[in-house]
Amino acid sequence: MAERYPGYDVLDKRHTLSWNEQTRRVVDERLAVPREPRFFSEEEFATLSALCDRIVPQPRHRPPIPTAALIDDRMHRGDGHGYRNAKLPPMGEAWRRGLRALDEEARAAHGVAFRELDAERQDELLRRAHQGELRGPAWGGMPSDLFFKARVLHDVTRAYYSHPTAWSVVGWGGPASPRGYVRMGFNRRDPWEAVELKDGDDPAEVYAENRRVR
């Protein structure tokens, strides 16, 4: 499948007028997130990594976005919302309990931890979690469907799309500071935004245009 924004790399904007020093600092911190867990245990982190791979599978032609590491970093920093559903424990505890529960459900059904299952069986367990059918004692009364919707889907997709690699994939220019975005109308773009490859377009021309985007 052809890339939608061939030749575009949002990090090419790093030393241009598109980003100021504050933006560069935030992006650099995100790129430097440790790959080893600081909040989760090694086992929890391995299960989290397997879970992230099922929610946002990644292609092999580029380095993967460290989705699990970004979630671990957020939990380590205690970066919450300031509120939570009363049926869920605090965010970090909800994650730890949910990961342990997924492993226990996998062991009960298949004799191995969630991270050791093949993709089909992992997806089966996640579908059951989504439907609220997982109620083993490890959940501690936490609804599996609420954990899946409020923590898994929300936190995994948020982590994935917070990374500059994902920005390049979807053609986003990153934080609009200090330059900002001007052409806000439908199907309009600023000169420093990526060009999307559409049916009938010459990929070489789009690639060349995106290499000029700054």
34-60, pLDDT tens digit by residue? 999 999 999 999 999 999 999 999 998
User: Using alpha carbons only, how large is the chain's radius of gyration in Å?
Assistant: 20
Mean pLDDT of the chain: 93
Q: What integer pLDDT is reported at residue 2 of this predicted model? A: 64
pTM: 0.91
Q: Whole-angstrom Cα distance, residue 7 to residue 29?
A: 24
Q: Sketch the domain layout of the chain as residue ranges.
A: 10-18+173-211, 29-165
Strand pairing partners for 97? none
Strand pairing partners for 178? 19
94-120, pLDDT tens digit by residue? 999 999 999 999 999 999 999 999 999
Give the pLDDT mean for 15-31: 91
154, pLDDT greater than 90: yes
Let me know: does 207 contact 6? Beta carbons within 8 Å: yes
Neighbouring CB atoms inside 10 A of 121's CB total 15
